[in-house]
């Protein structure tokens, strides 16, 4: 191992604390130190190259080191890196808000509140939904959220989540939540229970952290109708699904749904910088006008960071110049074919779940039963895949394949071949 790799790993071991990580175990292994990226490829400090099969935790859209994105950030850097959005406007935020609203039909989502990451985009929607009711002297304070949903890690956002291993430590401190499994459960709620509900929150089309599980087709449109019938707001968490992942710019467009709040983050800046946006309607916004006690007292120091806004604008420009969404359709079809070949070749591939260019490959024993959790098969297969040049992560025993949208047909094949080789290494022929 090179001296500098050794030095970085030692400092990590001595001083760093990683997200969602059992540190005791982490410190027993040498992590890869990622030093460079180009397109869908990443290099570690030892000079090895890997395909970024997880889009750097679901953020990267157009590839790394993209000339347009790099230039946009450099140009902004030559002006100013950060200025306060509290008390001042700035060019890139004005342009970006206008551009984001322009992606939706006129008179629908027309206001943008910027924040820093997925969790704060959710936090912001939740706070708006609650204060909307307060401002209008309406009594609703409860949220409906779906079982196994994931909405981030700040206290409010985490309490909406339904994945036990992430939320068991926080749910009792958080929001008032009614948890449902599916549309049918909503239909059985009593009028009294519904009368307490301010908003429903959902990850549209596909639940990410819940091992990449798509919803039944038509469900989102049905949920929108249910919300309209009962005067309940709809919050869409498109933190993962936004910016092309599911095949359209936003997942909600697949079922012609306009939410009352739309939360965007991960892919907003093309995966370059931490930045988020909560979009809402003129109707909601209007409830915050008037007396000072109606104003939305919420924000963060880096709200609407100009570098982030510049990156987001450049990313939207790339969607046009590279015709990203048009180019995506054949890639999605190719991914489907490659994954069905994978599934046919290896009996341990129990199920492949795909939505757009997002896939979950669930591994089970050949008799269809789950592997014991302690065997951590998903992790083992991903470790083996890295030896074949693919970086990705499992969710339990589901291997995620979610490359940047800029991935080529050959690179898609490389990625699925690496998963095949990894499954072969772990289970034999």
Ligand X SMILES: *Cc1c(COP(=O)(O)O)cnc(C)c1O
Name, in order, each residue with C-beta under 8 angstroms of 395's C-beta and a sequence gap of 6 or more: 209, 210, 211, 212, 360, 378
**Which of residues 180 and 377 has its CB atom nearest to ligand X in the complex?**
180
Using rule CB under 6 A, residue 206 touches ligand X: no
Tell me which of 39, 162, 208, 394 binds ligand X, using CB under 6 A: 208
Tell me which of 104, 150, 261, 272 binds ligand X, using CB under 6 A: 150
Using rule CB under 6 A, residue 265 touches ligand X: yes
The least distance separating ligand X from the CB of residue 28, rounded to whole angstroms, comes to 26
H/E stretch holding 91: helix 91-101
With CA atoms as reference, report the closest residue to 146 among 179, 173, 119. Answer: 179
The least distance separating ligand X from the CB of residue 309, rounded to whole angstroms, comes to 17
Segment interacting with ligand X (CB under 6 A) among 24-32, 63-71, 93-101, 118-126: 118-126
Using rule CB under 6 A, residue 237 touches ligand X: yes
The vertex-137 CA angle with 177 and 158, nearest 5°, equals 25
The answer to whether the CB of 368 falls within 8 A of the CB of 350 is yes
Q: State both tokens at 349.
A: 């591939």
Q: State both tokens at 358.
A: 């997002």
**Which of residues 274 and 347 has its CB atom nearest to ligand X in the complex?**
274
- Among all residues, whose Cβ is closest to ligand X? 118
Q: Tell me how crowded residue 253 is: count the other CB atoms within 10 A of its CB.
A: 15
CA atoms in the 13 A half-sphere facing the CB of 332? 17
The answer to whether the CB of 203 falls within 8 A of the CB of 237 is yes
Segment interacting with ligand X (CB under 6 A) among 7-15, 116-124, 125-133, 390-398: 116-124
The least distance separating ligand X from the CB of residue 7, rounded to whole angstroms, comes to 29
Using rule CB under 6 A, residue 411 touches ligand X: no
With CA atoms as reference, report the closest residue to 315 among 55, 97, 96. Answer: 96
Segment interacting with ligand X (CB under 6 A) among 42-50, 234-242, 326-334, 342-350: 234-242
The least distance separating ligand X from the CB of residue 151, rounded to whole angstroms, comes to 5
The vertex-393 CA angle with 391 and 394, nearest 5°, equals 145
The least distance separating ligand X from the CB of residue 19, rounded to whole angstroms, comes to 8
Using rule CB under 6 A, residue 239 touches ligand X: yes
Which DSSP letter does residue 39 get?
Answer: B
Q: Tell me how crowded residue 75 is: count the other CB atoms within 10 A of its CB.
A: 11
Segment interacting with ligand X (CB under 6 A) among 26-34, 147-155, 350-358, 413-421: 147-155
Residue 207: phi and psi, rounded to 5, are -85, 125
Report residue 72 CA to chain centroid gap: 23
Site string for ligand X, 324-363 (x = CB under 6 A): ----------------------------------------
DSSP sequence for 336-393: HHHHHHHHHH-TTEEEEEEETTEEEEEE--TTSPPPPGGG-HHHHHHHHHHHTTEE--
Radius of gyration of the chain (CA): 22
Segment interacting with ligand X (CB under 6 A) among 148-156, 183-191, 355-363, 387-395: 148-156
The least distance separating ligand X from the CB of residue 302, rounded to whole angstroms, comes to 13
Site string for ligand X, 38-77 (x = CB under 6 A): --------------------x-------------------
Using rule CB under 6 A, residue 119 touches ligand X: yes
**Which of residues 151 and 254 has its CB atom nearest to ligand X in the complex?**
151
With CA atoms as reference, report the closest residue to 266 among 244, 296, 291. Answer: 244
Tell me which of 117, 211, 260, 348 binds ligand X, using CB under 6 A: 117
Residues that bind ligand X (rule: CB under 6 A) add up to a total of 15
Q: How do 109-115 and 197-202 pair as beta strands?
A: unpaired
The least distance separating ligand X from the CB of residue 395, rounded to whole angstroms, comes to 11
Tell me which of 64, 151, 350, 388 binds ligand X, using CB under 6 A: 151
**Which of residues 76 and 210 has its CB atom nearest to ligand X in the complex?**
210
Name the site residues for ligand X (rule: CB under 6 A). Answer: 58, 117-119, 122, 150-152, 203, 208, 237, 239-240, 265-266
């Amino acid at each position: 191992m090179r001296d500098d790799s050794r030095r970085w790993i030692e400092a990590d071991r001595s001083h760093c604390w990683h997200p969602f990580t059992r540190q005791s175990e982490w410190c027993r292994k040498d992590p890869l130190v990622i030093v460079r990226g180009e397109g869908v490829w990443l290099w570690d400090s030892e000079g090895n190259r890997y395909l970024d099969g997880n889009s750097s935790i679901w953020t990267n859209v157009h590839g790394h080191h993209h000339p347009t994105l790099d230039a946009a950030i450099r140009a902004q850097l030559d002006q100013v890196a950060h200025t306060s959005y509290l008390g001042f406007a700035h060019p890139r935020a004005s342009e970006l808000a206008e551009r984001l609203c322009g992606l939706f039909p006129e008179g629908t989502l027309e206001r943008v509140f910027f924040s820093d990451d997925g969790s704060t985009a959710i936090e912001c929607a939740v706070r708006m939904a609650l204060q909307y009711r307060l401002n209008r002297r309406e009594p609703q304070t409860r949220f409906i959220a779906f079982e196994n949903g994931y909405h981030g890690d700040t206290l409010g956002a985490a309490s909406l989540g339904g994945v036990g291993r992430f939320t068991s430590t926080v749910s009792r401190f958080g929001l008032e939540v009614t948890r449902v499994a599916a549309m049918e459960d909503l239909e059985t709620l009593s009028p009294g229970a519904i009368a307490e509900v301010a908003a429903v929150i959902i990850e549209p089309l596909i639940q990410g952290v819940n091992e990449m599980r798509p919803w039944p087709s038509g469900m989102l449109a049905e949920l929108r109708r249910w919300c309209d019938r009962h005067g309940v707001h709809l919050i869409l968490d498109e933190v993962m699904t936004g910016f092309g992942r599911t095949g359209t710019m936003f997942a909600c467009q697949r079922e012609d749904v306009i939410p009352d709040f739309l939360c965007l983050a991960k892919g907003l800046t093309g995966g370059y910088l931490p930045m988020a946006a909560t979009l809402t309607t003129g109707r909601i916004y209007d409830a915050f006008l008037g007396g000072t006690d109606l104003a939305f007292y919420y924000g963060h120091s880096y709200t609407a960071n100009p570098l982030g806004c510049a990156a987001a604008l450049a990313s939207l420009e790339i969607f046009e110049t590279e015709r990203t969404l048009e180019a995506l359709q054949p890639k999605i079809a190719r991914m489907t074919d490659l994954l069905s070949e994978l599934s046919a070749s290896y009996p341990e591939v129990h199920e492949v779940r795909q939505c757009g260019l997002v896939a979950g490959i669930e591994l089970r024993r050949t008799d269809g039963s789950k592997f014991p959790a302690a065997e951590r098969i998903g992790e083992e297969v991903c470790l083996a895949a890295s030896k074949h040049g693919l970086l990705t992560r499992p969710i339990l025993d589901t291997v995620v394949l979610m490359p940047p949208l800029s991935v080529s047909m050959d690179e898609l094949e490389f990625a699925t071949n690496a998963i095949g080789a990894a499954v072969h290494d772990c289970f034999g022929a």
